[in-house]
Structure 1
Amino acid sequence: MLAGLDEIRDLGADPVRGGYSRHLWSTAELGLREWFVERATRLGLGIDRDRNGNLWAWWGEPGADAVVTGSHLDSVPGGGAYDGPLGVVSALDAVARLKARGFTPHRPFAVIVFAEEEGSRFGVACLGSRLMVGSLDPAVAGALRDRDGVTLADAARYAGEDPELFGPDPAALGRIGLFIELHVEQGRGLVDLGSAVGVASGILAHGRWRLSFEGEGNHAGATPMIGRRDPMVAAAAAILAVREAALARPGTRATVGRLEAVPGGTNVIPSRVQLWLDARAETDAEAHELVATIAARASASAFVEESWSSSVEFDASLRDRFAAGLGGVPVLSTGAGHDAGVLAAHVPSAMLFVRNPSGVSHAPGEFAELADCVAGTDALESLLVSVL
């Protein structure tokens, strides 16, 4: 069980940040894709790659009304070992167990790996699923740039993908009759509820914004404090405003996790500072109100939305059926975005969560006990049997 996590433990290990840095079409992420293809092929699954860089492993022939499960393999910078890979490894393990018991699916079935779920390289989360459902303009996607200035289109070509094919994929989407995503919980909900496994009820509204602050670059030692036009000072005030705005609205979350100064020298007053805001709330309206308040207080020269995801309520009948079928496991919402949330507006979708003992995620300390991971695979296998 879960040998796959051990097989990939060295891929993308980050010696500086700790944890893992596995960004879309990087050497590490391409290595993970190779691992997935090899592991799925060993199980007798047929490999397919769609027009948006998502990988599919089919049990039998692809077809309509398919049951699809899986997750992603990319990570945030210095992320944990479980966010994404646990869902992929558990899906492959469930297939192995079903095959070992002689189970034959009566519906088409596939395990999927979505491209760029975290948005860590090109700034748009759930990029592969967004392109598939048509909620992201392929021209906009192709022009996205990473921190080194490489466009998504160029990175795709390097990885053997054709960016000219990016865009809505009704054929691939139309095959999905049901999507189930297993994921390590990113929070302490299941710890507090005393359960190894839970079912998702919904996802908070969330988005990302880029704030720019312009100033005058100059020498740090030769320029008096009075009269400086230092954009870092304005950026610092904006970061404090972000925290104050979220604290004033219980239940909302606002984070600045990335900041870049130009030119970035220790002894240089920057000429420009950019920071990235992540804002989340229970409802779309609350999230928009939070961001509007921050924008009014931030005094940024530019305030640009880079991605937006409305709040998600998973199919209630499916949610309740799955929770009951697993013995009455807890039902809980999450503040973390997922590909299942993107698909939920188009196909019946559900999520399983596996308990995270510390609640830490998007960090090297992310963890799940082996027994809980096994319980998650047990639950996924049970649900697959019930729908296949």
Structure 2
Amino acid sequence: MSLLDAIADVGVDQRRGGYSRHGFDPVELELRSWFVAEAQARGLAVETDRNGTLWAWWGAPGDRAIVTGSHLDSVPGGGAFDGPLGVTSALEAVDLLRARGFTPGKPLAIAVFPEEEGGRFGVACLGSRLMTGALDPDKARRLTDPDGVTLADAVRSAGLDPAGLGRDPVGLGRIGTFVELHVEQGRGLVDLAAPVGVASSILAHGRWRFTFTGEGNHAGATMMGDRRDPMLPAAMTIAATRKAAVAGARATVGRIVPNPGGTNVIASSVTLWLDARADDTPRTRAVVADITAAAQAAALAEGCELTVTEESYGDTVHFDPVLRDDLAACLGGVPALPTGAGHDAGILAAHVPTAMLFVRNPTGVSHAPQEFAEPADCAAGSAALADVLEHLAQ
């Protein structure tokens, strides 16, 4: 049984399909405990840093470490591979290296970052953003999940001190090179007929919250001309989102929440979340500006108010070209390709030499139950990661 098979029953979402595993919830805590047990069974020393990232060290912790890993959380109803494949492949790479008789000449660690997807608290790459100082710790502590639980309360329940959240120069300073393996979220490797590739870049991307406020009322007793219905400008904003995403940009509304949410009730407010991505910051900001303008016009026409809040943003990431080319050569000339998906590696790339390995996804589907990678390609990914770690940690 593979390591992915060992966690296949953890966090299954019977309503949505796929998996729902969110930062510091009982399911993710179960997975964290599973990782600790697997790491310790391999003789790795495990510690948890101030932001909840797990570190499993092969040998003594130290500076200039070669670090690999990923995350264990998912989007709501996500697939089995996004995140956990990078964690299980790291453990399998350790097994392969030991079978080869390899002993690292540099400190080597596996890192498991919390809440990479932002599925619970709304900020993607939460652990790596806190570590690098990209997220203000006071703002982070006030983040709430859909049930009103704050991040401060969640980390406290997980045994961490919320006062310790924030920039961690000591932890960040230990990373000499970071390499994250991930299932490809797209069809690039399928089209290139390659089981493994390396990343070249990540699109600029962010999340914005649009809240339309109108007047709640009775669906049957309120004449159409008397309504201030926030659902209408929300719907028009969703339509504007598709029109604004041009020239390779991507814009998505994947979540909409009406309040109070009754079938026979005109909503008093509607909140939707926009995910926007493009090649660079000017183009991403232009897409958001177009959508915001359309939302403002629609709100005004319906007599509603609009509030727009930026929840997270990351500029275009260009992975270290020297490291990228070195690893591609180490793996026999595998292809390099860009991605539209964000990762903890993308946050770390502004601070330390960082690279990513991708494993072929035969359908290109991700963030959905149909996400998949063939067992042979997963094995090729673990072997490639072992080759890379051996190359870097000599």
| TM-score, length-scaled by structure 2 | 0.97
Query: In the alignment, residue 295 of structure 2 is paired with which amino acid?
Result: A
Is 1:262 aligned with 2:251? no
Q: How far did 1:101 drift?
A: 2.3
Query: In the alignment, residue 262 of structure 1 is paired with which amino acid?
Result: N
Query: In the alignment, residue 306 of structure 1 is paired with which amino acid?
Result: E
Task: Give CA deviations for 1:61-83 in whole Å, capped at 9, x if unaligned.
Answer: 10000000000000000000000
- 2:359 aligned residue: 354
Q: Residues of 1 paired with 2:376 and 2:136: CA distance?
A: 42
Which deviates more, 214-223 or 330-339?
214-223
Q: Residues of 2 paired with 1:336 and 1:161: CA distance?
A: 29
- 2:10 aligned residue: 11
Q: Residues of 1 paired with 2:8 and 2:357: CA distance?
A: 23
Q: Residues of 2 paired with 1:338 and 1:167: CA distance?
A: 19
Q: How far did 1:250 drift?
A: 1.4
Query: In the alignment, residue 350 of structure 1 is paired with which amino acid?
Result: A
- 1:286 aligned residue: 283
Q: Residues of 1 paired with 2:318 and 2:183: CA distance?
A: 19
Q: Residues of 1 paired with 2:186 and 2:91: CA distance?
A: 25
- 2:325 aligned residue: 320
Q: Residues of 1 paired with 2:53 and 2:182: CA distance?
A: 18
Q: How far did 1:221 drift?
A: 1.3
- 2:196 aligned residue: 197
Q: Residues of 1 paired with 2:107 and 2:212: CA distance?
A: 52
Q: How far did 1:224 drift?
A: 1.6
Query: In the alignment, residue 273 of structure 1 is paired with which amino acid?
Result: V
- 2:105 aligned residue: 106
Q: SS of the counterpart of 2:224?
A: coil
1:96-135 to 2 correspondence within 5 Å? 96-135=95-134
TM-align CA RMSD: 0.8
Query: In the alignment, residue 16 of structure 1 is paired with which amino acid?
Result: R
Q: SS of the counterpart of 1:63?
A: coil
- 2:69 aligned residue: 70
Query: In the alignment, residue 360 of structure 2 is paired with which amino acid?
Result: R
Query: In the alignment, residue 254 of structure 2 is paired with which amino acid?
Result: G
Task: Give CA deviations for 1:282-302 in whole Å, capped at 9, x if unaligned.
Answer: 111110111111111112511
| TM-score, length-scaled by structure 1 | 0.98
- 2:377 aligned residue: 372
Gaps of 5+ in 1: none
- 2:218 aligned residue: 219
Is 1:253 aligned with 2:250? yes
- Equivalent of 1:385 in 380, 384, 390: 390
2:210 touches 2:307 (CA, 8 Å); kept in 1?
yes
Query: In the alignment, residue 191 of structure 1 is paired with which amino acid?
Result: V
Task: Give CA deviations for 1:255-284 in whole Å, capped at 9, x if unaligned.
Answer: 000000000111100000000000000111
Q: How far did 1:4 drift?
A: 1.1
Q: Residues of 2 paired with 1:27 and 1:387: CA distance?
A: 36
1:39-118 to 2 correspondence within 5 Å? 39-118=38-117
1:291-302 to 2 correspondence within 5 Å? 291-299=288-296, 301-302=306-307
Is 1:149 aligned with 2:154? no
- 1:166 aligned residue: 165
Q: SS of the counterpart of 2:277?
A: strand
2:210 touches 2:271 (CA, 8 Å); kept in 1?
yes
Q: SS of the counterpart of 1:41?
A: helix
- 1:338 aligned residue: 343
Q: SS of the counterpart of 1:304?
A: strand
Q: Residues of 2 paired with 1:54 and 1:66: CA distance?
A: 16
- 2:239 aligned residue: 240
Query: In the alignment, residue 17 of structure 1 is paired with which amino acid?
Result: R
Q: SS of the counterpart of 2:366?
A: coil
Q: Residues of 1 paired with 2:95 and 2:133: CA distance?
A: 33
Q: Residues of 2 paired with 1:290 and 1:233: CA distance?
A: 21
Q: How far did 1:99 drift?
A: 1.5
Q: Residues of 2 paired with 1:33 and 1:343: CA distance?
A: 21
Query: In the alignment, residue 383 of structure 2 is paired with which amino acid?
Result: D
Which deviates more, 297-306 or 350-359?
297-306
2:201 touches 2:317 (CA, 8 Å); kept in 1?
yes
2:66 touches 2:178 (CA, 8 Å); kept in 1?
yes
Identity of aligned residues (%): 65
Query: Following superposition, which runs of at least 4 residues in structure 1 exceed 3 angstroms of deviation?
Result: none
Q: Residues of 1 paired with 2:51 and 2:163: CA distance?
A: 10
Q: How far did 1:335 drift?
A: 0.2
- 1:272 aligned residue: 269
Q: Residues of 1 paired with 2:333 and 2:57: CA distance?
A: 31
Q: How far did 1:183 drift?
A: 0.0
Q: How far did 1:97 drift?
A: 1.4
Aligned residue pair count: 385
Query: In the alignment, residue 40 of structure 1 is paired with which amino acid?
Result: A
Gaps of 5+ in 2: 300-305
Q: Residues of 2 paired with 1:4 and 1:195: CA distance?
A: 23
Query: In the alignment, residue 55 of structure 2 is paired with which amino acid?
Result: W
Q: Residues of 2 paired with 1:291 and 1:229: CA distance?
A: 25
2:96 touches 2:383 (CA, 8 Å); kept in 1?
no
Q: Residues of 1 paired with 2:291 and 2:364: CA distance?
A: 27
Task: Give CA deviations for 1:46-92 in whole Å, capped at 9, x if unaligned.
Answer: 00110000000000110000000000000000000000000000000
- Equivalent of 1:363 in 362, 368, 383: 368
Q: How far did 1:100 drift?
A: 2.2
Q: How far did 1:363 drift?
A: 0.2
Q: SS of the counterpart of 1:341?
A: helix
- 1:139 aligned residue: 138
2:241 touches 2:252 (CA, 8 Å); kept in 1?
yes
